[in-house]
């Protein structure tokens, strides 16, 4: 079958939305490292909108590890389809990429990063791709960083490439590009900026000071559920397009990109493309962590106890959905400070609506794993603050109790527990006797704040909820 390309664009069915610009006329103004599915479904869709009014901001897609994606994009003249999965399915052709760089094409990357027309460097390389230590600083002992410090002309890390590009621009007297990290790390821009400066300081303190003082590394937040592209999606895209698309991606209808205000004279009008510019990305991050992630974990553990399989299934249960809404609006939102441009009530409504999306089948079991790492930030911090402020904590105790019941059920059922504390959790789940013994053993773990554990009212609420969840009527825990 014919593949998607500029030549086949005009013949696509009327149901396929077209780019609002001529794909052949765009120029390169952005270099992106890591052109995987999330980048193509998220940031590139915003840039595709921007290109309708300003053709300067085409994206050069750079892959450091694998040539598959950039080769597929190059064969299709940079075009691919984005399917949005919601109550109604939509499909759109994206034409945001202007250049395609394979692993090993170092000279091309150097030229792109030195080009004065390139004003933004963006990245989605996963958190581990930044070579950071557990404390969030650059790991100077990481093999990729060791290599790049020894051979700065041929970097293998994103940090090495950022510094190589900035060093070339400083030497040429060219204004620096701004760097937008688009991976989910709190304070991602600040962390990456500090890592780049520390890398440069190992061989050129002047360059390090210039990076720290002149280069913008704004913090960002990104959000949109993006299921992996599989054979079923490729077949669906083929059916909707009438042509093959080897780079097709899919995501939910909701998407959010929040960027801290930064100065870049002559830069792109990102807000005009739907990006939210703010002075307080941390407020958005905290809202996402507590509202979206906190409710997600709550639905996972409680929904699992009630026999549900997916988030949409759980939200289709009227009693559980009503509980989740009360939890978010009455217990979680009061823990969040207001921020300019962030309507917490509207955001909560959007999150709960996303959870009801029947086209996204997010398994509760997947969300439930690694609870010892997730609970402190998603629910326990909120609970501890509520307790300290004198607000009720009984409802916030229910998902914690449901996690305890989940651990016992997995351990006694012989299902492997996916968690850094897996062996300890499994031992407790297998051997603890009644609900009180299980709660006491799990609350002794370091993941629980000591002040919270010492609060008799909260402990009693957890135990009461656990007894109901493991009893004959688990729904009674939602009362």
Residue 348 lies in a domain: yes
Mean pLDDT, the chain, integer: 96
User: For residue 367, what is the domain's CATH number?
Assistant: 1.10.1040.10
CA angle 77, 176, 214 (to 5 degrees): 150
pLDDT tier for residue 437 given thresholds of 50, 70 and 90: very high
**pLDDT, mean of residues 321-333:** 98
Q: What is the pLDDT of residues 380-436, one digit of tens each?
A: 999 999 999 999 999 999 999 999 999 999 999 999 999 999 999 999 999 999 999
List CB contacts of 315: < 8 A, sequence separation 6 or more.
Answer: 299, 321, 324, 352, 355, 356
**151-210 pLDDT, tens digit each:** 999 999 999 999 999 999 999 999 999 999 999 999 999 999 999 999 999 999 999 999
Q: Which alpha helices (H) appear in 18-120, and where do they start and end?
A: 37-41, 43-50, 68-75, 106-114
Residues 324 and 469 in one domain: yes
**What range does the domain containing 287 cover?**
282-478
Percentages of the chain per state (helix, strand, coil), in multiples of 5: 50, 15, 35
The pLDDT of residue 340 is above 90: no
| Of 378 and 341, the one with more pLDDT | 378
Residue from 396, 364, 135, 134 nearest 290 by CA: 396
Extract the tokens encoding 171. 């030497």
Task: Give the domain CATH number at 97.
Answer: 3.40.50.720
| Strand ranges, E, within 159-318 | 178-181, 220-223, 249-252, 256-260, 276-278
**What are 231-277's pLDDT values in tens digits?**
999 999 999 999 999 999 999 999 999 999 999 999 999 999 999 99
What pLDDT shows up at residue 180?
98
- Rounded Cα distance, 232 and 249, in Å: 11
End residue of a domain, out of 241, 256, 279? 279
- Measured CA to CA, the distance from residue 280 to residue 278 in angstroms comes to 5
Contact (Cβ atoms closer than 8 angstroms) between residue 324 and residue 315: yes
Q: Are residues 272 and 326 in the same domain?
A: no
CA dist 260 and 277 (Å) reads: 6
Q: Which residue, 248, 263, 279, sits at the end of a domain?
A: 279
Domain count, the chain: 2
Q: Which residues pair with 93 in a beta bridge?
A: 81
Tokens of 9: 């664009």
The verdict on 293 and 357 lying in the same domain is yes
Tell me the per-residue pLDDT of 55-103, one tens digit each, with 9 for 90 and over: 999 999 999 999 999 999 999 999 999 999 998 899 999 999 999 999 9
The C-alpha atoms of residue 41 and residue 33 are separated, in whole angstroms, by 15
What's the pLDDT score for residue 339?
A: 87
291 in the same domain as 241: no
In a domain, 106, yes or no: yes
Q: Are residues 307 and 378 in the same domain?
A: yes
Q: Cα separation of 49 and 68, whole Å?
A: 25
The pLDDT tens digits of the residues spanning 279-324 come to 999 999 999 999 999 999 999 999 999 999 999 999 999 999 999 9
- Note the residue count of the chain: 479
- Tell me: do 246 and 130 sit in the same domain: yes
361 pLDDT exceeds 90? no
CA distance 275 to 252: 17
Do 74 and 119 share a domain, yes or no? yes
Residues 372 and 225 in one domain: no
State the sign of the Cα–Cα–Cα–Cα dihedral 263, 264, 266, 271.
negative
Identify the pLDDT of residue 87: 85
Residue 479 reports pLDDT greater than 90: no
Phi, psi of 122 (to 5 degrees): -120, 160
Tally of CB atoms within 10 A around 213: 8
Domain membership of residue 445 (yes or no) is: yes
Distance CA 199, CA 76 (A): 37
- Examine the fold and report which residue of 279, 307, 338 is the final residue of a domain before the chain moves on: 279
Same domain, 133 and 144: yes
Q: pLDDT at position 170, please?
A: 98
Residues 448 and 19: their CA atoms lie apart, in Å, by: 50
Helices 106-114 and 158-172: angle between axes, nearest 10 degrees: 50
Nearest to residue 221, comparing CAs of 261, 180, 268, 258? Answer: 258
pLDDT band per the 50, 70, 90 thresholds, residue 370: very high
208 and 105 within one domain: yes
Residue 402: closest CA among 435, 363, 434, 451 = 435
d(CA 136, CA 195): 9
C-alpha angle with apex 461: 290 to 459, nearest 5 degrees? 90
> What's the rounded mean pLDDT across residues 32-46?
98
Q: What is the structure's pLDDT at 34?
A: 97
Query: Token pair of 178, please?
Result: 């701004």
What per-residue string of b and e applies to 122-141 under the rule 16 or more CB within 10 Å gives b?
Answer: bbbbeeebbbbeeebebbee
Alpha carbon distance 243, 234 (integer Å): 10
pLDDT single digits (tens) 2-18: 999 999 999 999 999 99
Claim to verify: residue 187 and residue 288 sit in the same structural domain:
no
Give the span between the Cα atoms of 441 and 463, in whole angstroms: 12
Residues 144, 224, single domain; the answer is yes
Query: In sequence order, what are the residues at sequence separation of 6 or more whose Cβ sits closer than 8 angstroms to the Cβ of residue 99?
Result: 28, 58, 59, 60, 61, 108, 112
Query: Can you give the pLDDT at residue 287?
Result: 96
Residue 1 belongs to a domain: no
């Amino acid at each position: 079958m014919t593949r998607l390309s500029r030549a086949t664009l005009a013949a696509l069915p009327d149901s396929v939305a077209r780019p609002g610009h001529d794909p052949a006329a765009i120029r390169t103004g952005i270099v992106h490292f890591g052109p995987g599915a999330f980048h193509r479904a998220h940031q590139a869709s915003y840039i595709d909108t921007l290109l309708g009014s300003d053709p300067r901001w085409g994206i050069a897609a750079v892959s450091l590890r694998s040539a598959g994606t950039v080769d597929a994009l190059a064969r299709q003249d940079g075009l691919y389809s984005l399917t949005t999965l919601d109550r109604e399915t939509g499909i759109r052709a994206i034409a945001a990429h202007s250049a395609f760089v394979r692993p090993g094409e170092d000279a091309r990357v150097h030229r792109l990063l030195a080009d004065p027309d390139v004003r933004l460097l963006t990245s989605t390389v996963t958190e581990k791709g930044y070579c950071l230590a557990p404390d969030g600083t650059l790991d100077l002992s990481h093999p990729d960083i060791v290599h790049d410090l020894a051979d700065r002309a041929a970097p293998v890390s994103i940090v090495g490439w950022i510094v190589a590009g900035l060093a070339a621009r400083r030497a040429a007297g060219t204004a620096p590009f701004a760097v937008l990290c688009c991976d989910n790390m709190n304070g991602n821009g600040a962390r990456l900026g500090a890592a780049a400066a520390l890398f440069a300081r190992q061989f050129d303190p002047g360059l390090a000071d210039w990076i720290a003082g002149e280069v913008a590394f704004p913090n960002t937040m990104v959000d949109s559920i993006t299921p992996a592209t599989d054979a079923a999606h490729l077949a669906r895209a083929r059916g909707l397009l009438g042509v093959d698309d080897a780079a097709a991606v899919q995501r939910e209808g909701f998407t959010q990109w929040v960027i801290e205000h930064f100065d870049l004279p002559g830069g792109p009008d990102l807000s005009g493309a739907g990006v939210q510019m703010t002075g307080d990305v941390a407020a958005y991050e905290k809202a996402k962590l507590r509202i979206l992630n906190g409710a997600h974990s709550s639905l996972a553990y409680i929904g699992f106890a009630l026999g549900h399989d997916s988030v949409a299934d759980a939200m289709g249960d009227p009693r559980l959905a009503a509980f989740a809404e009360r939890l978010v609006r009455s217990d979680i939102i009061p823990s969040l400070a207001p921020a300019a441009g962030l309507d917490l009530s509207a955001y909560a409504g959007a999150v709960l609506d996303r959870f009801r999306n029947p086209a996204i089948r997010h398994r509760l079991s997947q969300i439930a794993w690694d609870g010892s790492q997730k609970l402190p930030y998603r629910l326990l911090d909120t609970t501890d603050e509520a307790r300290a402020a004198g607000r009720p904590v009984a409802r916030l105790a229910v998902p914690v109790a449901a996690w305890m019941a989940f651990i016992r059920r997995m351990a006694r059922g012989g299902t492997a527990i996916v968690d850094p504390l897996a062996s300890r959790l499994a031992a407790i789940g297998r051997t603890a006797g009644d609900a009180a013994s299980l709660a006491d053993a799990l609350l002794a773990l370091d993941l629980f704040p000591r002040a919270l554990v010492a609060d008799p009212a909260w402990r009693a609420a957890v135990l009461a909820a656990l007894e109901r969840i493991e009893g004959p009527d688990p729904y009674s825990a939602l009362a």
